[in-house]
Structure 1
Amino acid sequence: MDYANRKRPPQRKSAKGKNNRKAPQRQVPWGIVVLAIVLVVALVLGLRFIAGGNPDAPATTTEVPASTPQPTAEPIPEKPEERWQYIEELENLEVEVDVPERELGPPKLMQCGSFRKQSDAERLRAAIAMQGLESKIYPSNGGTWYRVVLGPYETKRAAEADRHTLQRANIHGCQIWNWNL
Structure 2
Amino acid sequence: MDYANRKPKPKKKSGKSSGQRGKPSARGAAAKQPKQVPWVAIVLVLALMAAFIYGLLSINGDGDKLPAKPTDQQATDELPPKPKEKWQYIQELESKQVEVDVPERELGPPKLMQCGSFRKQSDAERLRAEIAMAGLESQVRSSEGKNGLWYRVILGPYETKRAAERERHKLQRAKIYGCAIWNWNLD
What's the TM-score, normalizing by structure 2? 0.52
Q: Give, in whole Å, the separation in 2 of the partners of 1:170 and 1:125.
A: 14
Contact 1:128 1:135 in 2 (8 A): no
Q: Give, in whole Å, the separation in 2 of the partners of 1:163 and 1:106.
A: 18
* 1:102 equivalent in alignment to 2:105: yes
- Decide whether aligned partners of structure 1 residues 169 and 34 sit closer, same or farther in structure 2, where only a CA change above 3 A counts: same
> Which residue in 1 is equivalent to 2:124?
121
Contact 1:112 1:175 in 2 (8 A): yes
> Structure 1 residue 109: deviation in Å?
1.6
Alignment of 1:7-46 (within 5 A): 30-31=39-40, 33-46=42-55
> Structure 1 residue 165: deviation in Å?
2.5
What's the TM-score, normalizing by structure 1? 0.53
Q: Give, in whole Å, the separation in 1 of the partners of 2:177 and 2:156.
A: 17
* 1:160 equivalent in alignment to 2:169: no
> Which residue in 2 is equivalent to 1:139?
143
* 1:180 equivalent in alignment to 2:177: no
Q: Give, in whole Å, the separation in 1 of the partners of 2:144 and 2:115.
A: 15
Aligned pair count reads: 126
User: Which structure is higher in helix share?
Assistant: 2
- Decide whether aligned partners of structure 1 residues 124 and 46 sit closer, same or farther in structure 2, where only a CA change above 3 A counts: closer
> Which residue in 1 is equivalent to 2:155?
150
Q: Give, in whole Å, the separation in 2 of the partners of 1:98 and 1:138.
A: 46
Q: Give, in whole Å, the separation in 1 of the partners of 2:168 and 2:153.
A: 13
Contact 2:112 2:157 in 1 (8 A): yes
**Secondary structure of 2:115 counterpart:** strand
Percent identity of equivalent pairs: 66
Q: Give, in whole Å, the separation in 2 of the partners of 1:156 and 1:28.
A: 90
Letter paired with 2:152 = R
Letter paired with 1:155 = T
Contact 2:138 2:153 in 1 (8 A): no
Q: Give, in whole Å, the separation in 2 of the partners of 1:154 and 1:28.
A: 96
> Structure 1 residue 155: deviation in Å?
0.9
Q: Give, in whole Å, the separation in 2 of the partners of 1:29 and 1:100.
A: 89
Runs (5+) with no aligned partner, structure 1: 1-26, 54-70, 72-85
Once the two structures are superposed, residues 88-116 of structure 1 have per-residue CA deviations (whole angstroms, 9 ceiling, x without a partner) of x64xx543111133233333221111111
Once the two structures are superposed, residues 6-59 of structure 1 have per-residue CA deviations (whole angstroms, 9 ceiling, x without a partner) of xxxxxxxxxxxxxxxxxxxxx877446423421321221220232157xxxxxx
Runs (5+) with no aligned partner, structure 2: 1-35, 63-72, 74-90
Contact 2:114 2:152 in 1 (8 A): yes
> Structure 1 residue 120: deviation in Å?
1.0
- Decide whether aligned partners of structure 1 residues 148 and 134 sit closer, same or farther in structure 2, where only a CA change above 3 A counts: closer
**Secondary structure of 1:144 counterpart:** strand
* 1:50 equivalent in alignment to 2:59: yes
